[in-house]
C-alpha cells in the first residue's frame, strides 16, 4: 500500500511524502515516469529498478527519475518513507541516474528543504532550499552498478544497522574477502568504506543535534568517535559546519522521519 502526501506544489515543482507499507521480495509491475526528479529516503530500505539497473535505496542512497523511464520496486525488508521531488526540465540539474549517493551535504540540504516546508513560505523559502538541494545533489556521483553492488548494499545495511566493529569483522560477517570489499566501495559509491562509515555516523550525529543534544562528548563516545574534537572535525569536513553551527541551523521540524506540514494552497 502506497500513500502520497503533497507538501508543496507550484507550476515548476512538486514535493511529496511517499509512505509505502509493502513487504514483498518480488518486483512490482512497471510504472512509467513522467518527469525529472529524485527520491530521498527518510526511513526504511527498498530496491529500485529502472533501465536494467538496480539500486538499493536507504538514507544514504536515493534514486533519480527521468521522463519515459519504467520503474519497478521491491520491498524485501518492509516499508519506507521518502521525499519525492519532481521538477520542470528547466530546473533539472541531475544526471540520468538511476542511483544517487546521498552524502552529508545532500542530507543537510534535504533537512533544510523540509524545515522550509514547515515555514509555509512555499514561493521563496521552499524554492530557495529546493534550488540548493538540486545543485548539491546534482554534483554527487551516480552509482556505477558494478558487479559487486549487492555485496556493497549488504555492507551498507550492516553499517547502517550498527557498527560491525571494523572492516575485517564486516567482511567476515558478509563472508567475503576484505580486499574485495575494500576495493568495491570506491567502484560503487566513489568513496572508501571508511568514508561511508563516517557518513553514517555523521547522519546519526546530525539527528541527535537536531533533536537538541548538547552533550557533544557523550555523543562522540556513543557514535565511536575518539573524542569531541574528532566528532567536530568529521562534521566540519562532511557537512561544512561545526556542531554549534548545525544546532543553530536545524530545528526539530527538519528531522527526517517527521512529516512536514502540507502546502495548504496545493
79 vs 251, which has greater pLDDT?
79
pLDDT at 249 over 70: yes
Model confidence at 218, pLDDT cuts 50, 70, 90, reads: very high
99 within 8 A of 61, measured Cβ to Cβ: yes
- Which residue, among 110, 181, 183, 106, has the nearest Cα to 142 in the 3D structure? 106
| pLDDT of 252 | 43
DSSP symbol at 37: E
Residue spans per domain, the chain: 1-102+123-143
pLDDT at 261 over 60: no
136 within 8 A of 40, measured Cβ to Cβ: no
Q: What is the pLDDT of residues 97-106, one digit of tens each?
A: 688 899 999 9
Q: What is the pLDDT of residues 152-178, one digit of tens each?
A: 989 999 999 887 888 999 999 999 999
Instruction: Give the Cα separation of 13 and 130 in Å (integer).
Output: 9
What is the full DSSP assignment across 148-199?
Answer: THHHHHHHHHHHHHS--SSHHHHHHHHTS-HHHHHHHHHHHHSS-HHHHHHH
The whole-model pTM stands at 0.83
| pLDDT of 112 | 92
Burial of 3 (0-12, 13-18, 19+ CB in 10 A): exposed
Model confidence at 265, pLDDT cuts 50, 70, 90, reads: low
Q: What is the pLDDT of residues 39-82, one digit of tens each?
A: 999 989 999 988 888 889 999 999 988 888 889 999 888 889 99
Q: What is the pLDDT of residues 176-209, one digit of tens each?
A: 999 999 999 988 888 899 999 999 999 999 999 9
pLDDT averaged over the chain?
86
The strand pairing partners of 37, in sequence order, are 65, 86
142 vs 177, which has greater pLDDT?
177
Which cell is 167 given? Answer: 572492516
Topology of domain 1-102+123-143 in CATH is Jelly Rolls (2.60.120)
Burial of 216 (0-12, 13-18, 19+ CB in 10 A): buried
Amino acid at each position: 500500500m502506497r500513500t502520497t502526501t503533497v507538501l508543496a506544489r507550484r507550476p515548476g515543482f512538486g514535493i511529496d511524502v511517499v509512505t509505502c507499507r509493502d513487504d514483498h521480495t518480488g518486483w512490482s509491475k512497471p510504472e512509467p515516469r513522467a518527469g525529472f526528479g529524485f527520491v530521498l529516503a527518510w526511513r526504511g530500505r527498498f530496491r529500485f529498478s529502472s533501465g536494467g539497473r538496480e539500486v538499493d535505496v536507504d538514507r544514504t542512497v536515493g534514486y533519480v527519475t527521468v521522463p519515459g523511464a519504467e520503474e519497478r520496486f521491491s520491498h524485501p525488508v518492509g516499508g519506507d518513507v521518502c521525499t519525492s521531488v519532481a521538477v520542470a526540465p528547466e530546473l533539472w540539474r541531475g544526471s540520468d541516474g538511476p542511483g544517487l549517493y546521498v552524502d552529508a551535504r545532500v542530507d543537510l540540504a534535504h533537512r533544510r528543504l523540509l524545515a522550509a516546508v514547515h515555514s509555509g513560505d512555499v514561493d521563496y523559502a521552499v524554492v530557495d532550499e529546493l534550488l540548493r538541494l538540486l545543485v548539491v545533489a546534482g554534483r554527487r556521483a551516480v552509482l556505477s552498478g558494478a558487479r559487486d553492488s549487492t555485496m556493497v548494499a549488504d555492507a551498507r545495511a550492516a553499517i547502517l544497522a550498527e557498527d560491525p566493529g571494523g572492516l575485517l569483522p564486516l567482511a567476515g560477517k558478509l563472508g567475503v574477502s576484505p580486499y574485495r570489499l575494500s576495493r568495491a566501495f570506491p567502484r560503487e559509491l566513489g568513496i572508501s568504506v571508511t568514508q561511508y562509515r563516517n557518513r553514517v555516523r555523521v547522519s546519526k550525529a546530525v539527528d541527535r543535534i537536531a533533536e537538541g543534544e548538547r552533550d557533544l562528548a557523550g555523543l562522540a563516545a556513543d557514535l565511536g568517535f575518539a573524542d569531541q574534537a574528532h566528532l567536530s572535525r568529521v562534521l566540519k569536513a562532511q557537512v561544512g559546519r561545526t556542531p554549534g553551527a548545525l544546532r543553530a541551523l536545524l530545528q526539530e521540524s527538519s528531522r527526517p522521519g517527521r512529516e512536514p506540514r502540507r502546502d495548504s494552497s496545493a
